[in-house]
Chains A and B, each alone.
Chain A
């Protein structure tokens, strides 16, 4: 199975800050990576697919990059509605696997 390791597990940031979350795959997954945002008590929401493509309707302050084993999700200017938990997910092979999550908290 491909293990997805996210770091940090949590980050405290202020509105307007630039936030970067990293996701590392235990083996190469090309660009078969998606990022999701989840707020408490709600279903996940797709942000980024194919490592760097922005899902329709998602604000442009979100961006993704990387290929192979190392990926990043960047929020260029954190907004109040961005405080949530973020997950990466690989789709290179079964079983599909998610990272452990990164909680973005208010500083």
Chain B
């Protein structure tokens, strides 16, 4: 069964750091594109970051320079290192698998975020 399980959330003071983990099963994380998406209390969805199967990474402007996405292929686990946390980073953080890549004809494809974790809550407050 394909599954994502996030952990590492909690209460942290402004300026602090936290590392979120997303343990995967049923597929190989290094062969897939993987995203982090967050949702502030009572708000909509906000994409945070993505890592390609080839290792390229991209970030939302709101977290660029503060957050780092990475993976451990041996543990089949995705991470989000969050530094210099702010109150506005308070949210439920979801990891998701992106069905995306380059097809046999060389064209890019994107078929959505088809598997999601249950989310982990990060609260930034003094």
* A-B residue pair count with CB separations less than 8 angstroms: 67
CA distance A88 to B17 in the complex (A): 31
Interface residues on B, range: 20 to 34
A-B pairs with the 5 shortest C-beta distances?
Answer: A34-B112, A49-B112, A43-B116, A91-B110, A96-B47
Q: Is the CB of B116 within 8 A of A44?
A: yes
Q: Is the CB of B47 within 8 A of A43?
A: no
Chain A residues engaging chain B, CB cutoff 8 angstroms: 1, 32, 34, 36, 38, 42-46, 48-50, 53, 55, 87, 89, 91, 94-101
Chain A residues with CB below 8 A from B99, complex form: 49
Question: Whole-angstrom distance from the CB of B113 to the nearest CB of chain A?
Answer: 6
Contact of A97 among B35, B47, B58 (CB under 8 A): B47
Q: Is the CB of B116 within 8 A of A50?
A: no
CA distance A45 to B50 in the complex (A): 18
Chain B residues engaging chain A, CB cutoff 8 angstroms: 35, 37, 44-47, 50, 58-61, 94, 96, 99-100, 109-114, 116-119
CA distance A42 to B116 in the complex (A): 10
CA distance A1 to B52 in the complex (A): 20
Q: Is the CB of A50 within 8 A of B44?
A: no
